[in-house]
Amino acid sequence: MYVSDPAHDMTDIDAMRTALKESKGVGNFRNLFLYSPNGKKDGIQIIPISEVAAKDDFAAIKNITRDDQLAGHRIPPQLMGIIPNNTGGFGDVEKAAKVFVTNELEPVQAVFSEINDVLGEEVIRFKEYSLDP
């Protein structure tokens, strides 16, 4: 619920919130009435969540989700084959790869290599990272 109408005080707004929270199920807004004698055209708006989501731009949601996944996994976008949205691009792929390996990959490999110490023999081995084929 969005209220920008100055004709209502917090008591009215709290009563509307309570009424909306207590109404559940299909058709729950069929009997909702609000008297607003000095109200403006869009002073009070009730927007169902499903309509808000339907109006959002799918491409924007998809891009935000992609960016969240990249941030969570800490992988540079150019290493994932993502096409940049701007003309400047993502920068040097080799530099990004070296930074990713140094900051992200090697620390994980070091943790896995500790298994060798626990077992007393080399059961896990990693090739040294190289950009050359």
96 in Cβ contact with 90 (< 8 Å): yes
Mean pLDDT across the chain, nearest whole number? Answer: 77
Element (H or E) spanning 17, and its range? helix 10-22
The mean pLDDT value for 58-71 works out to 83
Is residue 132 over pLDDT 90? no
Which helix (H) or strand (E) segment is 74 a member of?
Answer: none
Residue 118 or residue 12, greater confidence: 118
Helix (H) / strand (E) containing 92 = none
More confident residue, 124 or 52: 124
Q: Give Cβ neighbours of residue 55 (< 8 Å, ≥ 6 apart).
A: none
Where is pLDDT greater, at 117 or 131?
117
Both tokens of residue 48? 């169902």
For 13-59, the pLDDT digits (tens) are 777 777 777 766 655 655 666 666 666 677 776 666 555 555 567 77
